[in-house]
Amino acid sequence: MPVFLLSVVNYFAQLKPGKMVLWFYLIWYLVTVYFHFDPNPKIWINAVGISVVIGIALMLSVSSGQSPWANPWQTFRLFWMPFAVSSFSSLIKGQGYTVIFSPHWHEIMVALSACALFGLLVAVLKWCNRSCLLSSS
């Protein structure tokens, strides 16, 4: 198995619950973008602008004297989340959503199914990882 693929599998096999929730958020966001994508550049430019402003503020709030770029994935998340929130809110505006829930059941079912499939995949990888570790010792 290629090293990159092995590291990805290992990442998901060791995924902590908090990070798994973040992946569920990303899946929900991507499903919403799929169903409600709007190519209007204003939405995406505004989302990038908000991401930069809020991302910098978040970086400053968590840096505590260390280099704010020390953890690249944390840095990415601190900029990605404001982008996702901003673009999500623009895409669902006037669509009849209640908080994050679409008024269309099929959209909710696609998002829930995608999250469930991801959760199942992670569970299988965790099980395989434990089985491999137990059998190798």
* pLDDT tens figures, 112-122: 999 999 999 99
Angstrom distances, CA of residue 121 to CA of 63, 66, 92, 117: 34, 35, 29, 6
Residues 43-63: tens digit of each pLDDT? 999 999 999 999 999 998 887
Cα separation, 60 vs 46, in Å, equals 21
Does residue 134 carry a pLDDT above 80? no
Alpha-carbon distance of 54 to 52, in angstroms, equals 6
Kindly state the average pLDDT of the residues 75-98. Answer: 96
- Res. 66 pLDDT band, cuts 50 70 90: confident
CB of 115 closer than 8 Å to CB of 27: yes
Amino acid code (one letter) for 135: S
Count how many domains the chain has: 1
What residue numbers bound the domain in which 17 lies? 3-136
pTM of the predicted structure, to 2 decimals: 0.88
Angstrom distances, CA of residue 69 to CA of 9, 18, 63, 111: 25, 21, 9, 32
